A and B are shown apart, each in its own frame.
Chain A
């Protein structure tokens, strides 16, 4: 039986009078890739932000390794979660190298980062060529790669990705998802939030379907890919 790494129980988040999450629970095992799919406004990004301590959880608990996770975002990062935010949010006026160094901020000052640089360059070789370029001058796909590499520089145990396919060409999306699989094979658990349900289900082991703040369905990704309702609602195929 694999160990539970990250567990969210009955998470509620409110934005004023609007309830964005109404009791969503999720488990992420060690070395697992889990995706959360759902339409616009289902609460996917809110859930990620709740895990990272970026929005206030009004009810519910989050555990990492069985211990409660801090609700302060800078402590969450230190305990081993790293989020690649929606829309990439690279530091545009800084160089690629500076972006990566900022990603490693939570590590000890004396830590040897060479190994980490080698690691992220082996995943995304283009970043090495662009090392001294300003992040704002990169293409969208390159920025997404940089955002992922930046998160990996923190050596997270769980890599969270919020819509990594947003606004990218299909060929780039495939490349990025292929590298995410490699990241996972090296022992990083991945929690992925996507509107691009097909890509997410092809990559992940298990998936949760979120609808207006509540769980609609959960199961193995390969089963969900064959599910009649899911096909009709999220994969754009008629049953």
Chain B
């Protein structure tokens, strides 16, 4: 398939392009942010469930992987998968009572849940070392590894959205009642979306731990959660390629302005305001990038 091929080509470019150490770091960070944003995108953009607590799933992934690799000497690969799975399990447990909430109510609940998980990590000193953070993580996240995982997950995600499940998610986003009438078990549909999104965020967290070598609960606070959702809105709700482009763009822009660090949030805020004013539907709206290119070609012909 053409899309898969292009993604693989992008992957090769990202992984093999000769870069200095600093630029390599940016590429890794971009991949991590994109993975987390894809996770939030499937939930918020495609299933219509607004979340403001997904940094917590990143934290769960990061801590699971860190503890497994440092304390128990597990190889990073199974540990990263375990990080994703831990996020899945917790998301599932949390989802049972909270996914009955819809719209704004879920968003508010998710803030509480996100903060609760962060506070548990912060206060469970004996296990997580609390607010002092968790040092000494083996820097297993290399550029190649981050890029490969990102591309694999992206291919997976795009195929998922094209499948029956993708239609199921969109249908229950657009009209939950009508979706029920088509024979969807809509509560289960919402659960599937939450669990998949938690998996992506968990993996992203695990990679972040391996990149930074050090994690602490405050890295996964509400700021981070808000940022994840903001990036998805910025890229366009209901557009996975928009999410990836938006996330990559924001990572790059934020890096570019690192010199004036205290003004970075100002620029970030300005950027969001500008896009919301001039393109309230986000960078790509609810369309994928190839759909837009196809229309353009058709209109020119």
Contacts and interface: CB of A to CB of B under 8 A. Distances in A.
A145 to B, nearest CB: 16
Say what secondary structure dominates the interface of chain B. helix
Interface string B158-174: 00000010011011001
B75 to A, nearest CB: 37
Interface in A127-168: 150-151, 154
Contacts of A54: 177, 180-181
Interface stretch (A56-64, A72-80, A186-194): A72-80
A102 B177 contact: no
B181 A73 contact: yes
A114 B164 CA distance: 17
Looking at B170, B177, B182, B238, the one whose CB has the most chain A CB atoms below 10 A away is B182
A52 B181 contact: yes
B175 to A, nearest CB: 5
A77 B238 CA distance: 27
B185 interface: yes
Interface residues of B, number: 18
Contacts of B177: 54, 85, 89
Contacts of B184: 74, 105
A76 to B, nearest CB: 8
A103 B181 CA distance: 9
B251 interface: no
Interface string A75-119: 001100011010001111110001001110110010000000000
A106 B171 CA distance: 14
Contacts of A154: 182-183
Contact of B168 (A72, A77, A78, A105): A105
A85 B177 CA distance: 9
Interface of B: 164, 167-168, 170-171, 174-175, 177-185, 238, 286
- Ranked 8 nearest A-B pairs via Cβ: A77-B183, A106-B183, A89-B178, A74-B185, A91-B174, A73-B180, A102-B171, A74-B183
26 contacts: A52-B181, A54-B181, A73-B180, A73-B181, A74-B183, A74-B184, A77-B181, A82-B181, A85-B177, A85-B181, A89-B177, A90-B178, A91-B174, A93-B238, A93-B286, A94-B170, A94-B171, A98-B170, A102-B168, A102-B179, A102-B182, A105-B164, A105-B167, A105-B168, A105-B184, A154-B183
